[in-house]
């Protein structure tokens, strides 16, 4: 691409030595532009209040310098004395290169802005509900913007050819029939994209939500325009079409807040004093940092034939901590019963009557 700009400016009648010298000169100009933009950005990072813009310029200095070189070559092409067919080839190449580089710069700048913006919202915090909302919306908007930029760049590049423009005019004459055919062919793809936009607006799920999908428990790891990645508890990944979350029921454990109420059921003999279990459960949850200090309750929820059912409730700040807290309560409660009330464990009674 650099050589094309050089040949366009210098013409075809120059010697090989002059052509190589011109190519090296233009290459040095591109390198100088890159490091000039980078140096200016680094310098302004310390002096300007608009650090976001200058940080993005530093990260995209290579693409920006190449884009400026292509635009400069396209402008100087009008002054070149070369054959018409070669002029046309150089012009199209530089135009397509400028379009591709402009799309690349737009995507990288957009992703850079969103990445820097998301720094304000820590998704790893204990109370991360608002951060998860923002991350979900930004991620989906990023993908919509990328699709739009690539589509616009493709259309712009295609319309730069006369043959494509003439073909487009003929398509407009049969736009009704063609629209129906394309509508049926792309029905599912369009439905998926609209489902992604709907989720971005209504947010039935968010990044890092704890969900149960298809009887599998996990966390929302990634949301795209067409599918959702669920990270399961055993580190597997469940890939689900995005319209699943708009058409089918599922469980979202962290829809309103990250803290959860954990439940532990224990079955004991009727001779077990309930108040002793209540005090033991309180001591167990207070001995661990997994409990958030909100709820701790013990209730007798059912009488059975040979035993009673007790339900222990305790809260934690997140779904992983809730799961660990439930396991911790079971382990410590079993240890407590074996050491203090072994006779309270469930047993089957047999009574023999004399005939």
pTM over 0.75: no
Average pLDDT over residues 281-296: 91
Residue at which a domain ends, from 231, 257, 283: 257
Least confident of 26-30, 61-65, 339-343: 26-30
Residue pLDDT, tens place only, 123-165:
776 667 778 888 888 888 888 888 889 988 888 888 777 776 6
Q: Is 172 exposed, middle or buried (0-12, 13-18, 19+ CB in 10 A)?
A: exposed
In a domain, 354, yes or no: no
Residue at which a domain ends, from 68, 100, 119: 119
Report whether pLDDT(84) > 60. yes
Structural contact between residues 120 and 52, judged by C-beta atoms closer than 8 angstroms: no
DSSP track, 237-266: EEEEETTHHHHS--EETTSS-S-EEEEEEE
Average pLDDT over residues 26-39: 64
Residues 61 and 135 in one domain: no
Residue pLDDT, tens place only, 181-205:
656 656 677 777 778 778 878 888 8
Does 320 or 215 have the greater pLDDT score?
215
- Whole-number pLDDT of residue 173: 53
Average pLDDT over residues 302-330: 89
Q: Which of 238, 149, 242 is nearest to 193 (CA)?
A: 242
Residue pLDDT, tens place only, 39-65:
665 555 555 555 555 566 666 666 777
Domain limits for position 274: 260-344
Residue at which a domain ends, from 239, 257, 275: 257
- Cβ count near 210 (within 10 Å): 21
Q: Which of 208, 283, 293, 296 is nearest to 252 (CA)?
A: 208
In a domain, 351, yes or no: no
Cα–Cα distance between 199 and 249 in angstroms, integer?
Answer: 14
Read off the CATH number of the domain in which 277 is found.
3.30.70.100
Residues of the chain above pLDDT 70, percent: 69
Residues 251 and 273 in one domain: no
Report whether pLDDT(253) > 70. yes
């Amino acid at each position: 691409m650099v050589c094309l700009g050089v040949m366009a400016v210098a013409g075809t009648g120059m010697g090989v030595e002059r052509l190589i010298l011109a190519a090296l000169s233009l290459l040095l100009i591109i390198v100088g532009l890159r490091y000039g933009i980078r140096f200016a950005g680094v310098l302004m990072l310390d002096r300007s209040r608009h650090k976001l813009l200058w940080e993005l310029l530093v990260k995209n200095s290579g693409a920006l310098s190449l884009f400026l070189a292509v635009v400069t070559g396209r402008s100087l092409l009008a002054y070149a004395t070369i054959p018409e067919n070669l002029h046309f080839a150089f012009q199209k190449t530089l135009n397509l290169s400028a379009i591709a580089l402009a799309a690349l710069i737009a995507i990288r700048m957009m992703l850079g802005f969103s990445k820097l913006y998301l720094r304000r919202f820590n998704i790893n915090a204990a109370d991360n509900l608002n951060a998860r909302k923002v991350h979900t919306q930004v991620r989906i908007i990023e993908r919509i913007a990328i699709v739009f930029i690539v589509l616009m760049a493709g259309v712009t590049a295609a319309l730069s050819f006369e043959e494509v423009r003439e073909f487009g005019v003929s398509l407009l004459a049969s736009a009704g029939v063609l629209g129906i055919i394309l509508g049926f062919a792309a029905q599912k793809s369009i439905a998926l994209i609209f489902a992604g936009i709907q989720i971005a607006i209504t947010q039935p799920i968010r990044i890092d939500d704890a969900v149960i999908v298809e009887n599998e428990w996990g966390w929302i790891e990634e949301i795209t325009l067409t599918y959702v990645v669920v990270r399961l508890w055993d580190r597997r990944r469940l890939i689900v079409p995005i319209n699943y979350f708009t058409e089918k029921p599922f469980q979202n454990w962290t829809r309103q807040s990250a803290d959860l109420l954990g439940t532990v059921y224990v079955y004991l003999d009727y001779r077990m004093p309930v108040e002793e279990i209540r005090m033991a459960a309180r001591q167990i949850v207070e001995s661990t940092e997994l409990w958030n200090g909100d709820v701790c309750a013990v209730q007798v929820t059912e009488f059975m034939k040979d035993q009673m059912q007790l339900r222990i409730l305790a809260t934690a700040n997140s779904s992983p901590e809730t799961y660990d807290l439930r396991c911790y309560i079971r382990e410590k409660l079993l240890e407590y019963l074996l050491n203090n009330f072994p006779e309270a464990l469930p047993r089957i009674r047999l009574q023999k009557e004399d005939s």
